Amino acid sequence: MYEGKIALVTGGASGIGAAAALRFAEEGAAVVVADMNRDGAEKIAGQIRDKGGRANAIAVDVSSEADNAAMVAAAVDGFGGLDAAFLNAGAYAQMPLEEHDGATFDKMVAINLKGAYLGVQVVLPALNRGGAAVVTASTSGVIGLSVAAAYSAAKHGVIGLVRSASQGFAARGLRINAICPGPVATAILGVTELPPIQPADALQTPDYGGMLLPQHIAEVALFLASPRSGGINGQAHIVDAGYLASYPPMP
């Protein structure tokens, strides 16, 4: 699906981003693995190279304008262009609203919303025609999350950003979409062991209310960043195995 293409993945050292970087590479893409965790990004890029793929790792803080420019340059100068950008890095803070302090709020907005905003700004002019960007929001960007209000507010903002950017992208033959994952078994929720990548058609649907695997989200990201989803633009796609589909949700 990505033979001869170039993909950039932020948050690529861990969880959803790592699964996506490995799957982009399996599908033939050269991959820039960007993350503030340099060793983790190097590890994933090394796994791709060990399998005969092409990958570079770059240490970035997505809330930095200069680092966003550097990661796009790593794709354009390092591999010759950019076809797919998965802007996925994020951070989570859980506490009751009344205990939120300004620093926590600023951090949630800086990484989750400003990071996405800076990424979209720099990715847009760099994408090859027919390319696409995918941004990781959350089901917490669609409904409120009372235990994580700043995170939820930032993820609501990500969806507004994606919708706002979509028209400008479309005028140039480019697309942008958001993915809104439900609970996924990753480090952000305290799960540190990344499950092995399996063939896409071997993925099982989690029990209702159970956690998805990083690869469930990665597969949707690959689809949304590919020409196979050419008719889909500016939308927020819930990927939660049905958790938000009916009310009341199961406890």
User: What residues from 58 to 77 belong to the interface with ligand NAD (CB under 6 A)?
Assistant: 60-63
Stretch that binds ligand NAD, among 1-9, 50-58, 82-90, 122-130 (CB under 6 A): 82-90
CA distances from 91 to 70, 181, 223, 233 (A): 21, 14, 24, 25
- Total of chain residues touching ligand NAD, rule CB under 6 A: 32
User: Sign of dihedral through CA atoms 99, 105, 106, 108?
Assistant: positive
Catalytic residue among 2, 92, 117, 151: 151
Chain centre to alpha carbon of residue 47: 19
Pick the closer one to ligand NAD by CB: 70 or 187.
Answer: 187
User: What residues from 137 to 176 belong to the interface with ligand NAD (CB under 6 A)?
Assistant: 138
Residue 151 falls in the annotated catalytic set: yes
Looking at 73, 76, 126, 187, which residue binds ligand NAD (CB under 6 A)? 187
Draw the binding track, 199-238, toward ligand NAD (x: CB under 6 A; -: no contact). ---------------x------------------------
Looking at beta carbons, which pairs linking 230-235 to residues 24 or more positions away fall under 8 Å? 230/130, 230/175, 232/175, 232/177, 233/166, 233/169, 233/170, 233/175, 233/176, 233/177, 234/162, 234/163, 234/165, 234/166, 234/167, 234/170, 234/175, 234/176, 234/177, 235/162, 235/177, 235/178
Q: Look up residue 99 and give its two tokens.
A: 């205990």
Q: Look up residue 146 and give its two tokens.
A: 């009372």
Residue 11 in the binding site for ligand NAD (CB under 6 A): yes
Looking at 7, 13, 113, 224, which residue binds ligand NAD (CB under 6 A)? 13
Catalytic sites, residue numbers: 151
Residues that bind ligand NAD (CB under 6 A): 10-11, 13-17, 35-37, 40, 60-63, 88-92, 111, 115, 136, 138, 181, 183-184, 186-189, 214
